[in-house]
Amino acid sequence: MENGTILVVDDEPQIRRVLRTTLCNAGYTLIEANNGLEALEVFYREHPDLILLDVNIPGLSGLEVCRKIRVSFEGPIIMLTVRDSVRDRIEGLDSGASDYVVTPFAMEELRARIRAALRDSRLEKPAPRLETPELTVDFDARLVTVRGIPIHLTPKEFDVFRVLMMEPGKVIASRRILQVVWGPEYGEETEKVHVVIGQLRKKIEKDPAYPRYIITEPWIGYKFQLPHNAGGIARRKS
């Protein structure tokens, strides 16, 4: 069976119903939105694996929604539209879409495009995994173990930790972390990031006052690094 969570954004109930029936029967989990603002709300709350996005939706257009989501989402976005001109295709792809499907379309073709998009996405960005004698992190399983003891991370703590671990050793600006985890409309409330970093350190650092894993770069942001002789970060293969 296929699997993954798909966000369908379309203001036509009949189209959403057909997609829901077909894709759920194929093993996907479906979540829905019928306008641009609702699409953003559902996206930030549910973290889908793939987005099917109609260009002509009420409120924010599909192109605007795509641009906002692409700030923090590296997964596939497939545009659905009746427009078929070269200019329309270029505009959709330039907004951040991964693929462009013109309606009406054959459901088997759409499913094939979804399979290909998810496969490519998972090959390109496998979830990071870390195993050291002191700290184990498996983002696929959402498991963190510190000195042999499983610990609980909140969704925001997981997301911030993942952003840092995706680029180990690189300083990530607080503002970028804020926009990736909380959304592109957040730009200045970096105190949210500081609070979550403090919570993470209390849970994973032996001495939060002298962190070894999550390091502060004053006035810029944070980076994830491993202590010497701690091993390395692996990436799970799909």
Q: What is the pLDDT of residues 171-194, one digit of tens each?
A: 888 887 887 788 656 667 889 999
| More confident call, 115 vs 194 | 194
pLDDT of residue 211: 94
Topology (CATH level 3) of domain 128-235? Arc Repressor Mutant, subunit A (1.10.10)
pLDDT of residue 236: 46
CATH C-level class of 5-124: alpha beta
Q: How many CB atoms neighbour CB 191 within 10 A?
A: 10
- Domains of the chain, residue spans: 5-124, 128-235
Has residue 3 got a pLDDT over 90?
no
Has residue 126 got a pLDDT over 90?
no
Least confident residue range of 20-29, 102-111, 124-133: 124-133
For residues 40-60, one letter each, b for 16 or more C-beta atoms within 10 angstroms of the residue's C-beta and e for the rest, the string is: bebbbeebbbbbbbbbebeeb
pTM for the whole structure: 0.55
Nearest to 198 by CA among 230, 163, 222: 222
51-70 pLDDT, tens digit per residue, is 999 988 988 888 999 988 88
